[in-house]
Amino acid sequence: MTFPEILPKATGAIGMFDSGVGGLSVARAVMARLPGESLLYVADSAHCPYGARSEAEIRALSEGITRFMLAAGAKVIVVACNTASAAALSYLRQTFPQVPFVGMVPAVKPAVQLTRDGVVGVMATPVTFGGRLYEEVVEHYGRGVRVISQTCPGLVERIEAGDLETPDTLALLRSYLDPLLGAGADTLVLGCTHYPFLIPAIRRLVGDSVQILEPSEAIARQTERVLGQRGLLGQPGNAATARFFTTGDAPSMARALRQLLGLENGDVARLQWREGVLGE
Ligand code: DGL
């Protein structure tokens, strides 16, 4: 399917998506850094988690979400999901050449600079670890350091359910942290945008000496840079709005906004997939 050229306009919004509520960790940083910009956030909760899906499926979902956000006036698309970035970022850039994209890859580069003992633990999904982006980053920056990959099945579902501190979540978390700590990791990279919501629990489990890296501030800075380079930054004094969409259940999304962002009465709407097309 070809796509009519939609040229991004400075009056547009920042479009952002994730498989679910994880990308809200990025949304929080972007809203804090760019308070004058409007935000459209899509949580594809109907397909969460992405981590166990095929690359082809994640590409198709990412394309459908991108089309929806462009039609709704997005001027940049922030792929606030390591998994979707791994599977779909280069495909999205090829498919929508006029549109600026900001994507992400686990923060191995800063972790390698920070580790004292030369052991870095990375927590992410199988799709993220299997992607070329990750391979390149480890190859390029990981020399001389042991970079250990740890998948964390079940953790995203806990965060989606709002179970950040329950005994089950803590036990699951411990089972993923123990092998990393046992191997001597002194630096942890949270390579999934859901995991920053577990930082208080992770900190308690790993103690103060372990460094925890998550990328939301860096993504917010990159979004500002990309908008600036393209002349797409909003004018000061713009009336910024934030709209949140979910392909799942709107009350659950509203609950997540309260719990994760402290946002009461967030503007939440439900979207539906119909034959690969996303709409209201
Ligand atoms: N928040 C996501 C990521 O950054 C998605 C995880 C998933 O849906 O499996 O990888």
Given 192, 212, 263, 268, the catalytic residue = 192
CATH for the 108-214 domain, from 1.10.287.10, 3.30.300.10, 3.30.365.10, 3.40.50.1860: 3.40.50.1860
Query: The tokens of 224 are what?
Result: 């500002």
Contact status, residue 141 vs residue 112, Cβ threshold 8 Å: yes
Query: Ligand 1 pocket test: which of 50, 61, 65, 247 has the largest number of ligand atoms within 8 Å of its C-beta?
Result: 50
| Fold matches, 3-104+217-279 and 108-214 | yes
Task: Determine the Cα–Cα distance for residues 228 and 249; give it in Å rounded to an integer.
Answer: 35
Q: Which residues line ligand 1 (CB under 6 A)?
A: 18-19, 22, 48-51, 81-83, 125, 128, 156, 192-194
| DSSP symbol at 16 | E
Residue found under tokens 């935000």? 39
pLDDT digits (tens, 9 = 90+) for 74-84: 999 999 999 99
Q: Cβ of 240: how many Cβ atoms within 10 Å? A: 15
Residue 270 has pLDDT above 50, yes or no: yes
pLDDT digits (tens, 9 = 90+) for 116-147: 999 999 999 999 999 999 999 999 999 999 99
pLDDT digits (tens, 9 = 90+) for 143-191: 999 999 999 999 999 999 999 999 999 999 999 999 999 999 999 999 9
CATH class, domain 3-104+217-279, is alpha beta
Active site residue 192: yes
Query: The tokens of 58 are what?
Result: 């994640």
Burial 18-40 (b: 16+ CB within 10 A, else e): bbbbbbbbbbbbbbeebeebbbb
pLDDT digits (tens, 9 = 90+) for 61-120: 999 999 999 999 999 999 999 999 999 999 999 999 999 999 999 999 999 999 999 999
Query: Ligand 1 pocket test: which of 47, 156, 219 has the largest number of ligand atoms within 8 Å of its C-beta?
Result: 156
Task: Determine the Cα–Cα distance for residues 112 and 13; give it in Å rounded to an integer.
Answer: 35
Tell how far the Cα of 202 is from the centroid of ligand 1, in angstroms.
18
Residue 195 CA from chain centroid, whole number: 10
What are the φ/ψ torsions at residue 40 (nearest 5 degrees)? -115, 120
Query: The tokens of 251 are what?
Result: 């009350």
Contact status, residue 31 vs residue 242, Cβ threshold 8 Å: yes
Tell how far the Cα of 256 is from the centroid of ligand 1, in angstroms.
16
What are the φ/ψ torsions at residue 120 (nearest 5 degrees)? -120, 135
What string of H, E and C letters represents the secondary structure of 33-48?
Answer: HCCCCCEEEEECHHHC
Tell how far the Cα of 230 is from the centroid of ligand 1, in angstroms.
28
Nearest CA-CA partner of 23 in 111, 83, 91, 94: 83
| Domain boundary assignment for the chain | 3-104+217-279, 108-214
Active site residue 152: no
Task: Determine the Cα–Cα distance for residues 36 and 13; give it in Å rounded to an integer.
Answer: 10
DSSP symbols for 145-156: SEEEEEE-TTHH
Query: The tokens of 241 are what?
Result: 């709005």
Query: Ligand 1 pocket test: which of 62, 194, 195, 219 has the largest number of ligand atoms within 8 Å of its C-beta?
Result: 194
Tell how far the Cα of 236 is from the centroid of ligand 1, in angstroms.
33
Q: Residue 133: helix, strand or coil by DSSP?
A: helix
Return the axis-axis angle of helices 82-95 and 132-141, rounded to nearest 10°: 110
Contact status, residue 14 vs residue 30, Cβ threshold 8 Å: yes
Given 42, 70, 81, 271, the catalytic residue = 81
**Report field, pTM of the whole predicted structure over 0.85:** yes
